[in-house]
Chains A and B, each alone.
Chain A
């Protein structure tokens, strides 16, 4: 079983914080298929958040295919985050590093590089949707 927490000053909507924490637990192997998520009532009482927020997070995770509810029993992990093994990150990292060197060489400062990356990242994820 995992425990949730809410960071009030993070600027991230509380329900998204819960979604992130479940995804993170999946990546870290703290949760795996068949595990039960904490009951909505227990999360609401423990974290002092609105039960509707917990429900919204669980629905979001359900839409992502990561969990599914069994009425009267609870919400169970059904999916895994198919992340590639860390070793396969390396070539991608090297490519990104070469790109960063080119951007710096072109005279972009750190903030411009970050903005360019984030904008491209956002528009490409939107296109995929």
Chain B
């Protein structure tokens, strides 16, 4: 299987702040990848490294087999929609399409026009007069008409109301079904990601916490409730992601190949949202331990 994105030990530092550390991952072709994590986790940094708007300070990243933005041919194959789906407020929709046609060698004018028509938008309208949902759809149209092999979307639905969000995801899924392109989108909304993605990257505290096919992640993570016991007393092969204790009960989120039957505990499947949250909590706790160290460095 060919990897569309291949990162090895990838890192990005802004002055003193490490935005992304030691990121090693591989995104297979034809996937819709969800990138999830708290604010400041490094999601935008990773996406901007992938499209070549940023260059790494350590490690390496290859996109479609080349360094990002290393050639115009490579750039033509990568679409990027930045956070808040920016468009040119003073330009009309038709102007945007005209610009797209002039700037992109693989531009699909028929597709762009068809999509604008389907959305019921007036080509003469200025982008500044569009609603948030319409603007997002215009930005998606521009990215899609470019016919990219890889489409990167940074929080495309964050600012949209539920109806506009659903409309956007419908358009995106239609594009995926038509072209079999690879998509990476970041979002806070795990329920949206579960719907549209088949692959997930959990990013927190500037590091990759978990990565894999969503079905595999769900099949290998469990909530285990038992009488109070220490995490290291659990069977080998169970990797503890999170542990919570009361005076008599312990609740663990564990990674294991399968459920283990034991009369002394209850082992249940975990919802994707809880799975993501437990990795984020673990990263947050590790970050809190490091904080005093950072302060003394100042």
A interface, CB within 8 angstroms of B: 6, 8-9, 11, 13-14, 40-41, 44-53
Contacts and interface: CB of A to CB of B under 8 A. Distances in A.
A41 B180 CA distance: 11
Given A44-B177, A50-B32, A51-B177, A8 B191 contact: yes
Q: Which range contains the number of B residues in contact with the other chain?
A: 20 to 34
Given A13-B218, A50-B32, A44 B174 contact: yes
B95 interface: no
Nearest to A9: B191
A41 B198 contact: no
Nearest to B31: A52
A44 B181 CA distance: 14
Contacts, number: 51
A51 B169 CA distance: 12
A14 B194 contact: yes
B174 A49 contact: no
Chain A binding surface, main DSSP class: helix
Contacts of B174: 41, 44-45
Contacts of B171: 45
Nearest to A11: B271
29 contacts: A8-B191, A8-B194, A8-B195, A11-B269, A11-B271, A13-B215, A13-B218, A14-B195, A40-B177, A41-B174, A41-B177, A44-B173, A44-B176, A44-B177, A45-B170, A45-B174, A47-B170, A48-B166, A48-B172, A48-B173, A49-B195, A49-B196, A50-B197, A50-B198, A51-B176, A51-B177, A52-B30, A52-B31, A53-B198
A49 B214 CA distance: 14
A16 to B, nearest CB: 11
